[in-house]
Structure 1
């Protein structure tokens, strides 16, 4: 059934990965300008009030990877009838999110004067939360498999 707990966990993982699009991974203030790393690119803002973000560099491969992982997590919700496939796709999602987080850390080094002294935003911790939700979904899938096996034994 689509109302299973693993559907909720996978949906929350997809929501967390969507939040990665809008929240900064790391920010650093250098010479009166604040530079921030997002999954869509490198943005720079003057510290003065009313200043707007300007995109310095675009990270299109990182953005495409983020969308791909979101789509995989979201469509994995609808594989509830094929639990073994759903579990395999959840494991693939964990690997992809781990690679995505590593790739984000590589892009974070593009901050001016390196990553030293940078403050990490909430976006830096969201891949770990997404992995936690996917692991909880795998536990839910295993629980469903045990329930079905026990129901088949009763017949």
Structure 2
């Protein structure tokens, strides 16, 4: 079912991942971060279409969260080794995107678990 609330969260995750992955001025280390953001977006869209297999959908989201944590690690490492001068953009602003994506993925997993509990409770009455 594509009209579920977790599909909205996963769609937002995919759209934000694609937009931020393609804007190279926003991310500090363009190659690794761009690839990871695009992988996050692809996994979010794959997860949307795994709606019949909720355990696989949750596992894809957990993998996506781990990739976002790696992305945060790469961004923090890059921000720590670059000198901050007057010409550099504000340091640390780009870390908002992976944190936002983790929050969206956690909310999607919350609603996937709710669906799982609902279906288990309906199966008990049969």
Question: Which of the five TM-score ranges fits, normalised by the shorter chain?
Answer: 0.7 to 0.9
Structure 2 CA distance for aligned equivalents of residues 105 and 121 of structure 1: 8
Correspondence for 2:91 = 120
Correspondence for 2:68 = 97
Q: CA RMSD in A?
A: 2.2
- Of Structure 1 and Structure 2, the greater helix share is in 2
**Runs (5+) with no aligned partner, structure 1:** 26-37, 42-58
Structure 1 position 136 matched with structure 2 position 122: no
TM-score where L is the length of structure 1? 0.69
1:146 to 117, 121, 125: 117
Deviation at 1:19, TM superposition (A): 3.3
Structure 1 position 11 matched with structure 2 position 11: yes
How many pairs does the alignment contain? 123
Structure 2 CA distance for aligned equivalents of residues 76 and 2 of structure 1: 11
Structure 1 CA distance for aligned equivalents of residues 25 and 81 of structure 2: 14
Which of structures 1 and 2 has the bigger CA Rg? 1
**Runs (5+) with no aligned partner, structure 2:** none
1:63 to 8, 12, 34: 34
- Of Structure 1 and Structure 2, the greater strand share is in 1
Please identify, of 81-90 and 100-109, the stretch whose mean Cα deviation from structure 2 is larger.
100-109
Render the CA deviation track for 1:82-124: whole Å, top value 9, x for unaligned: 000101111111010110111122233454xx14776136432
**Change over 3 Å in CA distance of 1:105–1:97 after alignment to 2:** same
